[in-house]
């Protein structure tokens, strides 16, 4: 019976088990977005996961919406990431880079005074995360078609740098209301050109970026992150089943390595319908999964792997704890994001000393 310990093949990626570390923004890079030795230790501690998906990594300075998130657009960042990937590989782990452009989920104060960009000039409700004093999101500027092509090229160059940094592949961040998602969903895409209107047009940007990543890595080392529920950053789609089903059909034809959905289990979830249209592409389930839910998804074949976020923050040995059904460490919210201290980052205890040392 398939369980946490069963190996699995995702395209060209051979995973030693089916427990995935989800991408987790921790804002521990330098002000120049260079990964640090402490980040290398953090990821190496969690290398028993079948696959680590890195924290979201910006493809350019203009792509950012948070301070101290890492990048993949400079030589220094490549060198910083090499320290991370070397540390993970030394523990026989796999790690891929999640590539990211936040689009409208930013603010001029984070962009040297420039207006954030998006598919259309649709303002996001709410306040900018982590900026103090609090300030509302601004009305973004709709991208010109020529600018869209520039961003496609930036994603490609980031993928090239990810290869130079020693990653095992890349994942496109197409979820949670960031730029790719802003083009995909109807609430944020009001365009009337070749990137708006029909689902084929709204998915065009996503597919162009995926094709650029595949050109660099091959389809078997490229995955995608999607959020069909649209429950982050003021998103929504008029027909999510049609929109996300079309995307998965297109990516299934390309035979990418995997697709990952951030969608909790509920009667209105559509991830399993997406899986049925994926042409055999493996599916990673995520969000609010308990141990038994995760085991049921694996045993039933509803998902090829299961992913955990916050539990991986507080449990570097989460894979071992899940296998042995051991209690989990309690998550500490202080110092979770954006500090330079080890507390709440690399000081969570392992189940036993031998495991910690190994």
| CATH for 305 | 3.20.20.70
- Asked if residue 2 belongs to a domain, the reply is no
CA distances from 70 to 31, 34, 150, 209 (A): 9, 6, 20, 20
- Asked if residue 26 belongs to a domain, the reply is yes
* Angle of CA points 283, 286, 287, to nearest 5°: 160
- Asked if residue 1 belongs to a domain, the reply is no
Task: Choose among 301, 306, 229, 305: nearest CA to 267.
Answer: 229
Amino acid 340: pLDDT: 86
pLDDT tens string, the chain, 358 residues long: the values are 899 999 999 999 999 999 999 999 999 999 999 999 999 999 999 999 999 999 999 999 999 999 999 999 999 999 999 999 999 999 999 999 999 999 999 999 999 999 999 999 999 999 998 888 999 999 999 999 999 999 999 999 999 999 999 999 999 999 999 999 999 999 999 999 999 999 999 999 999 999 999 999 999 999 999 999 999 999 999 999 999 999 999 999 999 999 999 999 899 999 999 999 999 999 999 999 999 999 999 999 999 999 999 999 999 999 999 999 999 999 999 889 988 899 999 999 999 866 666 5
Q: Which domain does 171 fall in, by range? A: 8-356
Q: Is 301 helix (H, G, I), strand (E, B) or coil?
A: coil
First to last CA, the chain: 28
Amino acid 20: pLDDT: 98
Based on the residue annotation, tell me whether 195 is a catalytic residue of this protein: no
Question: Tokens for 98?
Answer: 């999640």
- Asked if residue 155 belongs to a domain, the reply is yes
User: Would the CA dihedral through 229, 232, 238, 244 be positive or negative?
Assistant: negative
Phi and psi for 230 in degrees, rounded to 5? Answer: 60, 35
pTM for the full predicted model = 0.97
- Asked if residue 213 belongs to a domain, the reply is yes
Q: How far apart are the C-alpha atoms of 184 and 188, rounded to whole Å?
A: 8
Question: Tokens for 256?
Answer: 């990418």
Amino acid 250: pLDDT: 98
Domain count, the chain: 1
Task: Choose among 312, 308, 295, 300: nearest CA to 275.
Answer: 300
Cβ burial 176-189 (10 Å sphere, 16+ → b, else e) = bbbbbbbbbbbbbb
- Asked if residue 163 belongs to a domain, the reply is yes
- Asked if residue 44 belongs to a domain, the reply is yes
Amino acid 352: pLDDT: 81
Amino acid 338: pLDDT: 82
The distance from CA 269 to its chain's CA centroid, rounded to whole angstroms, is: 19
Q: Are strands 19-21 and 305-308 parallel, antiparallel or unpaired?
A: parallel
| Set 42, 43, 66, 178: catalytic member | 178
- Asked if residue 223 belongs to a domain, the reply is yes
Question: Tokens for 325?
Answer: 């059904």
């Amino acid at each position: 019976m398939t369980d946490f310990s069963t190996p699995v093949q995702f395209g060209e990626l051979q995973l030693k088990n089916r427990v995935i570390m989800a991408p987790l923004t921790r804002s521990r890079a330098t002000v120049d977005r260079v990964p640090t030795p402490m980040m290398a230790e953090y990821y190496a501690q969690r290398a028993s996961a079948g696959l680590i998906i890195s924290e979201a990594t910006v493809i350019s300075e203009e792509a950012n919406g948070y301070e101290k998130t890492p990048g993949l657009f400079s030589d220094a960042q490549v060198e910083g990431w090499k320290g991370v990937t070397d540390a993970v590989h030394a523990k026989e782990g796999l790690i891929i880079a999640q590539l990211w452009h936040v689009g409208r989920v930013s603010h001029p104060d984070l962009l040297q005074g420039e207006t954030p960009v998006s598919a259309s000039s649709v303002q996001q409700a709410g306040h900018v995360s982590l900026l103090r004093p609090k300030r509302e999101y601004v009305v973004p500027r709709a991208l010109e078609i020529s600018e869209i092509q520039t961003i496609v090229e930036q994603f490609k160059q980031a993928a090239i740098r990810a290869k130079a940094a020693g990653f095992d592949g890349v994942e496109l961040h197409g979820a949670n209301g960031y730029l790719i998602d802003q083009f995909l969903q109807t609430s944020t895409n009001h365009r009337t050109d070749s990137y708006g209107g029909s689902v084929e047009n709204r998915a065009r940007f996503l597919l162009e970026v995926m094709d650029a990543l595949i050109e660099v890595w091959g389809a078997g080392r490229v995955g995608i992150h999607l959020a069909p529920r649209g429950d982050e950053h003021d998103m929504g789609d008029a027909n999510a089943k049609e929109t996300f089903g079309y995307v998965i059909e297109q990516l299934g034809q390309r035979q990418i390595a995997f697709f990952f959905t951030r969608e909790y289990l509920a009667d209105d979830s559509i991830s399993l319908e997406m899986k049925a249209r994926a042409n055999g592409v493996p599916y990673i389930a995520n969000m609010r999964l308990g141990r038994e839910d995760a085991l049921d998804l694996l045993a039933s074949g509803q998902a090829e792997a299961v992913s955990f976020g916050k539990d991986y923050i507080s449990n570097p040995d989460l894979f071992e704890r899940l296998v042995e059904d051991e209690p989990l460490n309690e998550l500490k919210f202080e110092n979770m994001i954006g500090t330079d201290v080890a507390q709440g980052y690399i000081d969570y205890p392992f189940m036993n000393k031998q495991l910690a040392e190994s």
